[in-house]
Structure 1
Amino acid sequence: MAKSKNILITGASTGIGYDLAKIFVANGYAVYGSVRKQKDADRLSADLGENFKPLIFDVTDYDAVDKAAADLAKEIGDAGLAGLVNNAGIAVGGPFMDMSIDEFKYQFDVNVFGLIKVTQAFLPLLGARENAPFDPGKIVQISSVAGRHGMPFMAPYSGSKHALEGITESLRKELLLFGIDVILIEPGPIKTPIWNKGASELVEEKFKGSIFYPALIKFQTKFVAKAVKNAWTSDRAAKIIFDAFEAKRSKTRYLIVPQKFMNWTVPRLMPTRTVDKFIGKAIGLLK
């Protein structure tokens, strides 16, 4: 069977998605990148050249996802996809007690249900069918350390990534039937526009009347700002993800955390309640 050199990356307009598209194009892949706006499609096509092919859809627009999958099937025929990188995502933040159900739903619509829909729609192009004429592809799920370690005021985001982790554990086993591998990428803080879309919500006007507002401000200044300052660049993270994808035998999980020992290993070795109290004391959640 032939090995495909086609790959689909969702959320390719900025951040990790953009840098991944750049790396894959440089390594001879035809990259199909999902974007939501025509102006982003035009910009990426100009930046990345003829081997980048935009697909315009929002992961929450299921009809558009189905149409993109059908159009791509017509275009690449029996060549198939070497991989699908589920990168599209948002971060919704704020105090659990003060957030509406609609805000939680929006977070899950993008990070969970949109991802499920995209995966289901493109699975046949990854080899999830009988007698596929190409080698089985690989699915890369861009999760987060937040999927295993929830910080205060990040319940919607952490919940969505925890859901993704559980889904991936099941999906990886199911897709053994077709030889399609599924791997999890768990980045810590990465310098991407998601901070502008999500972390800034922590100080929105609507939370000023919240009993949690003083702790929100401290959380932003003591944890979020520091994390962003020490974060890796998205191109550095993208290189690690590309190498993980290209590995002959990929690991099931890849942790991408700056200063891993202090930021991940030590907190994981400490009792959970000790970590809770440390964070609570630092931002004023302990009476």
Structure 2
Amino acid sequence: MKNILITGVSTGIGLGATREFCKKGYRVFGSVRKPEDAEQLKNESDENFVPLIFDVTDEKAILDSVTLVEKIVGQNGLSGLINNAGIAVSGPLMHIPIEELQEQFNVNVFGIIRVTQAFLPLLGAQKNCPHPPGRILNISSVAGKVAFPFLGSYVGSKHAVEGLSHSMRRELQLYGIDVIIVGPGAVNSAIWDKDSAQNIPEYYLETDFVASATKFQKQFVKQGKRGFPIDYFGKRLVQIFEKNKPKTRYALVPKKFREWTLLRLIPDRKLDRMIAKGLGLVHNK
């Protein structure tokens, strides 16, 4: 049995990936932050699922999970790691509290580094490793390549994930460990029904950005609800993980030409003007 670790499996892409990898016969170690989520997932999943309780910002909890996983997998190690856990902080960079910006990077960027460093020996980053080298999938986003207004903190974190992943892949060639970036577009999950997705943060309700940000938020939620279902992402992640000669990056985007290819072909200044016109961010001289 192959063993794989997926972070952030309580909802969304992580949950979809857990379901599909279990179906394919993998033993899935899935991280969640709350014991009640671990219990619920354990009850809903088959015997191939093993919950791990840790937050990617908690180094001690991560290391405790390494010990647990090592006891279970023994000399077989891990075949893969999918760094999926993440958060999205929204708001204009002019007003966003620095503490929220730090938390964004602490989870999305430093969280990946903490988890990867801790589990690399089980993936084969050691001399005379008794098992074949594993493979790492880092979940980025369309925002890892395209910058949207009012998502600057999230965009910055995903741009960082992209760069770190390329450097990591080139370094880990030493051990035969491959690193692949997966950049999803819109994901149709329960997150869009939560108040946190619908509401504008209080700290910029009285700023000049409120009208534009409200319009953007509504469009963003609407687009999310039209996104791929989580089980589709799960199936695609399994396919990517099992490829003999994978690409270094995959874009899994609905309406791919309009929402991915075209956005990267339009010159920056023209895209600036299009966004400004659409959201009312035009300067009145």
TM (norm. structure 1) is: 0.95
Q: What CA distance in whole angstroms lies between the structure 1 residues aligned with 2:240 and 2:156?
A: 25
Q: What CA distance in whole angstroms lies between the structure 2 residues aligned with 1:252 and 1:197?
A: 36
**Residue 31 (str. 1) matches residue 34 (str. 2):** no
Among 54, 72, 76, the alignment partner of 2:73 is 76
**Residue 253 (str. 1) matches residue 254 (str. 2):** no
Q: 1:168-247 to 2 correspondence within 5 Å?
A: 168-195=165-192, 196=194, 199-200=197-198, 203-221=200-218, 223-247=219-243
Counterpart amino acid of residue 250 in structure 1: P
**What is the number of equivalent residue pairs in this alignment?**
282
Q: What CA distance in whole angstroms lies between the structure 2 residues aligned with 1:164 and 1:198?
A: 24
Deviation at 1:229, TM superposition (A): 3.5
Q: CA RMSD in A?
A: 1.4
**Residue 137 (str. 1) matches residue 134 (str. 2):** yes
**Residue 125 (str. 1) matches residue 122 (str. 2):** yes
Deviations, residues 12-37 of structure 1 (Å, cap 9, x unaligned): 11111011111111111111000111
Q: What CA distance in whole angstroms lies between the structure 1 residues aligned with 2:126 and 2:97?
A: 41
Q: What CA distance in whole angstroms lies between the structure 1 residues aligned with 2:161 and 2:259?
A: 22
TM (norm. structure 2) is: 0.95
Q: Is the 8 A contact 1:93 1:198 kept in 2?
A: no
Q: What CA distance in whole angstroms lies between the structure 1 residues aligned with 2:190 and 2:59?
A: 25
Deviation at 1:207, TM superposition (A): 2.1
- Indicate the residue corresponding to 1:110 in structure 2: 107
Q: SS state of the match for residue 33, structure 1?
A: strand
**Residue 282 (str. 1) matches residue 283 (str. 2):** no
CA pair 198-172 structure 1, distance change in 2 beyond 3 A? farther
- Indicate the residue corresponding to 2:17 in structure 1: 20
Q: SS state of the match for residue 96, structure 1?
A: coil
- Indicate the residue corresponding to 1:87 in structure 2: 84
Q: Is the 8 A contact 2:187 2:225 kept in 1?
A: no
Q: What CA distance in whole angstroms lies between the structure 2 residues aligned with 1:34 and 1:130?
A: 27
Deviation at 1:237, TM superposition (A): 1.5
Q: Is the 8 A contact 1:10 1:88 kept in 2?
A: yes
Q: What CA distance in whole angstroms lies between the structure 2 residues aligned with 1:99 and 1:193?
A: 25
Deviation at 1:198, TM superposition (A): 5.8
**Identity rate of aligned residues, in percent?**
49
Structure 1 runs (4+) greater than 3 angstroms displaced: 193-201
CA pair 150-89 structure 1, distance change in 2 beyond 3 A? same
CA pair 5-197 structure 1, distance change in 2 beyond 3 A? farther
Deviation at 1:193, TM superposition (A): 4.2
CA pair 193-143 structure 1, distance change in 2 beyond 3 A? farther
Deviation at 1:260, TM superposition (A): 0.7
Any gaps of 5 or more consecutive residues in structure 2? none
Any gaps of 5 or more consecutive residues in structure 1? none
- Indicate the residue corresponding to 1:165 in structure 2: 162
CA pair 197-111 structure 1, distance change in 2 beyond 3 A? farther
Q: Is the 8 A contact 2:146 2:264 kept in 1?
A: no
CA pair 245-212 structure 1, distance change in 2 beyond 3 A? same
Deviations, residues 166-225 of structure 1 (Å, cap 9, x unaligned): 000000000101100100000011113454486435x1333211111011111123x313
Q: What CA distance in whole angstroms lies between the structure 1 residues aligned with 2:83 and 2:237?
A: 12
Q: SS state of the match for residue 171, structure 1?
A: helix
- Indicate the residue corresponding to 1:266 in structure 2: 262
Counterpart amino acid of residue 275 in structure 1: L
Q: Is the 8 A contact 2:31 2:53 kept in 1?
A: yes
